[in-house]
Amino acid sequence: MIRVTLFKSARGDITGFSCKGHAGYAEEGSDIVCAAVSVLSITCANALQSVAGAEPEITEKDGFLTASLREDQLSHDSQVILRTFEQGIRDMAASYPKYISFTAR
């Protein structure tokens, strides 16, 4: 199962996310759920840099990706990107609840 956690500040701004695990929907290389979460999370991390001009702290290894922003990087653009990521993950978790869990804290 892929566990996605969205991190929020006390003000309610999204400060980052983590994705851990593998979906197990299909064999490696054919797992559409894992591929979809990977595309959403990597695109989000890249867009925080290229679109929002932020410099997120990113950690990536097999089955794990985390991206986090400092408070001074919580711009309108970064929030739009992170809210779009949140919507995509929520939709995926609703469609594939056995393979993706989503929490926000």
Whole-angstrom CA distances from 64 to 4, 13, 19, 38, 75 are 10, 23, 6, 10, 25
Q: Write out residues in the chain with pLDDT < 70, as ranges.
A: none
In the prediction, which pLDDT does 104 show? 95
DSSP-derived letter for residue 87 is: H
In the prediction, which pLDDT does 20 show? 98
Phi then psi for residue 90, to 5 deg, are -60, -45
Our CA angle for 64, 79, 104, nearest 5°, is: 50
pTM score, two decimals? 0.95
- What is the rounded CA–CA span in Å between residue 105 and residue 92? 19
pLDDT (tens digit per residue) in 56-66: 999 999 999 99
The domains found in the chain, sorted by start residue, are 2-104 (3.30.70.1490)
